[in-house]
Structure 1
Amino acid sequence: MKYLRAIIRIVFFFGSTFGLYGLWWVGDFIIPNKQYWRQIIFRTWARWYVKSAGIEIEVLGDKPKPPFFLVSNHLSYTDIPVLRAVVESVFVAKGDIEGWFAAGKMVGDIGNIYIDRENNRDIPRAGAAILETIGKGEGVIVFPEGTSTKGDKVLPFNSSFFEFASQTDLPIQYASITYQIDDKSKKPSELICWWDDTSFIAHLWRFFQLRGCKAIVNFGSEPVVEPNRKKLAKELWSRVNDKFIPVL
C-alpha cells in the first residue's frame, strides 16, 4: 500500500508542478498583474503538495503579512511548500539550484531569488533583490543555516545573509519549523529531513511512502532590528532556537 501511495503522490507532484508552471506561463502573457498571478500559482502548488502528501500544519503565533523578511531553520525541501502554504512569500534559494534541469528555471520564474553562497560578492546583489521584492509588497523567506539539517539542532546562522538588513534597519521576522509523525517506529529525521547524500528523487520516494505527518510552524512575536550583522545573526538564531522542537 505504501508503494502505491508513493507512486500516486510522485505522479501528482510532477504532474501538478509542470501543469501549474504551464498555466503560469500562459497567464503571464495575458494577465496584467504578473505578481498577483505568480503568487496564485505558487500558493496553489504549495497547498496541493501539502494536501497530497498528507501534511497537517499547526501554526503557532501570529503569521506575518507581506511585506516582510523572515528567517527560519531548515530541515527539508518540504519546508518550502509548508511555509508557502501558510504565508504569502518567495524564497531565497541557493545558486546551484539554478543549474538543475527544468527546476532551476521554474524556481526563478516563480519569483524566488538566487544567491551564490560561495561568492561573497554576490551577497550585495541578492540583498538588493530582496529589498526590491519587499518594496513591491512581497514577503521573503531565507534559511540562514545555509543547508538543511537532520533536525537535532539549529545550526549557527550565516551573518552574511544579514548585511543588507543591518545596514537598512530592516525588521526581521522569525519562525521555527519541525515535523512529527504518529508512528513511533519511524524516524522523521530520516524520512522527512533531507540532510544526507540521498538524491532528491530517492528521498521524495521515501517521504511519499509515509501516510502523513504534522508540521509545526511557530512564528515569533516581535521582529528584530540590529545594526550589527553578527549580533543580528546571533539574536535571530537564539530566538529561533528557543522555539525549535527537535525532530526525533
Structure 2
Amino acid sequence: MNRTARALGSSGRGALRLTVYLLWTLLLIPLQALAVARNWGLCRTLPAFYHGVCARLMGLDVVVRGQRADGPVLFVSNHSSYLDITVLGSQIPGSFVAKSEVGSWPFFGLLARLQRTVFVERKARASVDKQRDDIGSRLDAGDSLILFPEGTSSDGNRTLPFKTALFAVAARRIDGRPLTVQPVSVAATRLDGIPMGFAFRPFYAWYGDMDLAPHLWQAFRLGGMTVEVEFHPPVTIDGFSSRKALAEHCHRVISNGVACAISGRPSIPAPVTEATSAAPAPTAASA
C-alpha cells in the first residue's frame, strides 16, 4: 500500500478511533453535566482536557504558533469544519458562539450545551441587542468566547467575509478596560506528512451541502492530519474607528495567517491601518 493510500484511511483504524471516541465522550458527559449544574470551576476547564484527548484520538497534530491572550477574551477565528471545535477547544479554555440550530443537533447539540455554548440567531436582526448582551454577560463573568464571524464554514482554502454584527460586543469594557479581541487562524496543512492542497483539504473542511455522517466517518479513517493554529497579536476596539474597522483588521490578519499556513510560508504580520491601543499582556498558549 503506498503512502497516499495509507493517508486516505483504514476502516479498521476508523472503527477503533470511533469506538474509543464514543467511550471517552460518554464517560465524561455525566461529569461535565454535573459540573455545569453545580457551576463548578471544572465546567470551564474540563472541555479543554476533553478536546485535547479527542484531538489525539482522531490523529490531529495541532501545531500552535503565537501566544494566547489571558481571559476574558473574544477569540475570532476562521471556520472550515466541525473539527475546528476540537482543535480550538483543545487550546482555548472557553466556550463557543454558535448558530442556534446547532443546539438542536442530535448528540453534538448536547455536547455544545455542555460546553456552555452561546447560541445566537444570526438572521434575526431584532435580537442583535439581546445576543450582544448574552455574550457580554459571559465575558463579564470572566469567560472567554470563540466566535466564527464568517457565519458558515468555508472550503479551508480561503477566509470568507466577516459579518460585523457580533463585533458590537467588542465595545464592552471589563472592569473598566476594553475587551481583548484576539484573531486566530486555523488551517489544515498536511495529511500523514503530505501537503494537503486543494485535493485533500476537503477531508478536513466540511462545507456546502456535504453530509455530516460520511464526512465524519472519513475523518476517523484518515491518517494523521496536521492543523496549524496561530494566535495573532490581540487588539481592542479603542484602537479602531468602528466595529467594522475592527472586523476588517481581524479578517485581514486571519486571511494572511491561513494563506501563509497552507502555502508553507512564514506568517507575516498584517499591517494595522489604525493605531491600536495596548492590550493586556498575553500568556503562553497551551500545548
TM-score scaled to structure 1, two decimals?
0.90
Deviates more, 1:88-97 or 1:119-128: 119-128
Deviates more, 1:233-242 or 1:97-106: 97-106
Gaps of at least 5 residues in structure 1 are none
Tell whether 2:35 aligns with 1:21.
no
- Alignment partner for residue 89 of structure 1, among 91, 94, 97? 94
Partner of 1:180: 189
- The alpha-carbon deviation at position 78 of structure 1 amounts to 0.9
Partner of 1:243: 257
Q: 1:137 to 1:185 in 2, by over 3 A?
A: closer
Partner of 2:13: 5
SS, match of residue 153 in structure 2: coil
Contact 1:151–1:193 (8 Å) recurs in 2:
yes
Query: C-alpha separation between the residues in 1 aligned to 2:113 and 2:106?
Result: 12
Identity %: 24
Query: C-alpha separation between the residues in 2 aligned to 1:137 and 1:131?
Result: 10
Cα RMSD, aligned residues only: 2.1
SS, match of residue 188 in structure 2: strand
SS, match of residue 253 in structure 2: helix
Partner of 1:210: 222
Q: 1:164 to 1:56 in 2, by over 3 A?
A: same
- The one-letter code sitting in structure 1 at the alignment partner of 2:31 is L
- The alpha-carbon deviation at position 96 of structure 1 amounts to 0.6
Query: C-alpha separation between the residues in 2 aligned to 1:90 and 1:152?
Result: 25
Partner of 1:51: 56
- The alpha-carbon deviation at position 17 of structure 1 amounts to 2.1
TM-score scaled to structure 2, two decimals?
0.78
Q: CA offsets, 1:194-248, max 9 Å, x none?
A: 1132222211111111111111111112314235222222121111112223658
Q: CA offsets, 1:115-136, max 9 Å, x none?
A: 1111122322222122111122
Partner of 1:62: 67
Query: C-alpha separation between the residues in 1 aligned to 2:115 and 2:168?
Result: 25
- Alignment partner for residue 194 of structure 1, among 177, 184, 206? 206
Q: 1:26 to 1:164 in 2, by over 3 A?
A: closer
Contact 2:35–2:41 (8 Å) recurs in 1:
no
Query: C-alpha separation between the residues in 2 aligned to 1:238 and 1:26?
Result: 41
Aligned pairs (5 A) from 1:22-171: 22-28=30-36, 34-166=39-171, 169-171=178-180
Query: C-alpha separation between the residues in 1 aligned to 2:35 and 2:125?
Result: 36
Q: 1:135 to 1:192 in 2, by over 3 A?
A: same
Deviates more, 1:165-174 or 1:135-144: 165-174
Contact 1:188–1:247 (8 Å) recurs in 2:
no
Q: CA offsets, 1:97-117, max 9 Å, x none?
A: 111124323312321100111
Q: 1:211 to 1:127 in 2, by over 3 A?
A: same
Q: CA offsets, 1:153-196, max 9 Å, x none?
A: 11110011212324655331111010122235883321001113
SS, match of residue 238 in structure 1: helix
Count of residues in correspondence between the two structures = 245
- The alpha-carbon deviation at position 28 of structure 1 amounts to 4.9
Query: C-alpha separation between the residues in 1 aligned to 2:89 and 2:246?
Result: 24
Q: 1:222 to 1:239 in 2, by over 3 A?
A: same
Contact 2:72–2:179 (8 Å) recurs in 1:
no
Q: CA offsets, 1:19-62, max 9 Å, x none?
A: 21122234556xx5x25121233122201111101111111111
Query: C-alpha separation between the residues in 2 aligned to 1:230 and 1:126?
Result: 18
Contact 1:58–1:217 (8 Å) recurs in 2:
yes
Instruction: Please identify the structure whose Cα radius of gyration is greater.
Output: 2
Query: C-alpha separation between the residues in 1 aligned to 2:100 and 2:116?
Result: 14
Query: C-alpha separation between the residues in 1 aligned to 2:124 and 2:227?
Result: 33
SS, match of residue 241 in structure 1: helix
- The one-letter code sitting in structure 2 at the alignment partner of 1:103 is F
Contact 2:180–2:234 (8 Å) recurs in 1:
no
SS, match of residue 217 in structure 1: strand
SS, match of residue 50 in structure 1: helix
